[in-house]
A = this chain, B = another copy of it.
Amino acid sequence: MAKRSKLDAKKTREDLIGAAMRQFEQQGYADTSINDICKDVGITKGALFHHFPTKRDLFLEVWTRLQVAMDTEARAAAIEARRLTDPYSAFLAGCGVYLKFATRRDYQKIVLIDGPAILGLQGWYESDHDLGTQNVEAGIRYLAKKGIVEESRVSALAVMIQSALNGAGFALARHQSDVTPDAIYDAFEAMVKGLR
């Protein structure tokens, strides 16, 4: 068998992540077997376990990729909006990006559904993993600094607003007749507007 150089190894690793990303999204973590992923990439289990010590670690890598993608996009949107408009609108812009990700199938299945079950209760918060929480909390803390919301409510509001956006994402993905993007935006603005 032809052995490969480090450059090819990097490509193999990316192929594994890509295949895992697709299968985790389509079939879920539990119904995706390591053999299936290997067959998709065209290698054997030995190679997979050379790159990732466990199935969970492969999932964690996929999970992190999605979180980072959401994080960078939300940061960019918030910074951009903060320059053009008021801080309150900048916060809404960041929430809009998060809401967009929360309607994506891959983000839903991997980050919002399988993530908590696979990574567990402890790993979910204690580490610096959860970029979504950090992002929302930073946005609200900025609002507090501007005097728009009360400082003492920042943490509590952060967890509730982030979760609310998650739920809204799920609802939007269902395409229920009375839960439209407009209705979500309207209700969300009404909720956070009351905080001022």
Contact = CB atoms under 8 A, between A and B. Distances in A.
* Interface size bracket, A side: 35 or more
Given A152-B186, A157-B191, A163-B167, 4 more contacts: A30-B30, A155-B176, A192-B194, A194-B194
A121 B117 contact: no
A195 interface: yes
A47 interface: no
B160 A187 contact: yes
Contact of A164 (B125, B161, B171, B184): B161
Interface string A148-192: 000011111101111111111011001010110001101110111
A13 interface: no
A190 B194 contact: yes
Contact of A167 (B159, B168, B184): B159
A98 to B, nearest CB: 13
